[in-house]
Structure formats: C-alpha cells, structure tokens
C-alpha cells in the first residue's frame, strides 16, 4: 500500500501539530496548583492529576510522532514510486488511500 501525497502531508501535519500543542499543555498542567499536594507549584508530591496528564501527554506525543514518521515514509515512498513509473503507467498492485 502506498499513501498518496495528500494523506502523507496530513500525517506529517498531525505529527507537527502534536509537538506544537502537547508540550504547552504539559507546561500548563505543571504550573497548575492541583498538580501538587502542597497547593503550590513544586511544593509537595505530585498528585494523580499531574500523573494522569503526564501519561496522556506522553501517549499523545508517541502517537503523533508515529503518525508524523508514517507520513514522512509515505511521502518518500510516493516520490520513489513516481520516479520509477512512466507517465500514465499504473501498477495493478498499488492501492492508494
């Protein structure tokens, strides 16, 4: 299966968007007083609020990074495939999504 350039671009965009949004969200959670048992930022032990959001952020970054890598690989595969083919030639085993 070969991704089209459009879908590959979308996946790369998802990867970039993930790295733009989630670190900022992580900083906001870190600075939230609910994240610390002492009621102030960095005071006391981390609470469940901080831990659950840390897991959410880590999982989202992993999924977004995977999507971005798949998008880059799809873009490269589509480029290699277009260089190999003659104009108008279609290989029957290609399935574009």
pLDDT: which is higher, 79 or 45: 45
- For residue 46, give the DSSP letter: B
**Rounded Cα distance, 46 and 4, in Å:** 45
Is there a contact between 2 and 74 (Cβ–Cβ < 8 Å)? Answer: yes
**Rounded Cα distance, 62 and 56, in Å:** 10
- Beta-bridge partners for 2: 96
Q: What is the pLDDT of residues 79-95, one digit of tens each?
A: 887 777 666 655 555 55
Query: What is the separation of C-alpha 1 from the centre of its chain, rounded to a whole number of angstroms?
Result: 21
Query: Three-state SS for 84?
Result: helix
Domain boundary assignment for the chain:
49-86
Q: What is the pLDDT of residues 11-29, one digit of tens each?
A: 999 999 999 999 999 999 9
């Amino acid at each position: 299966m070969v991704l089209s350039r459009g879908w590959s671009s979308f996946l790369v965009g998802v990867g970039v968007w993930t790295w733009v949004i989630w670190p900022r969200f992580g900083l906001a959670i870190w600075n939230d007083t609910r994240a610390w048992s002492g009621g102030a930022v960095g005071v006391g032990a981390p609470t469940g609020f901080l831990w659950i959001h840390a897991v959410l952020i880590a999982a989202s970054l992993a999924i977004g990074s995977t999507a971005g890598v798949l998008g880059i690989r799809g873009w490269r595969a589509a480029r290699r495939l277009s260089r190999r083919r003659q104009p108008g030639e279609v290989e029957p085993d290609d399935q574009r999504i």
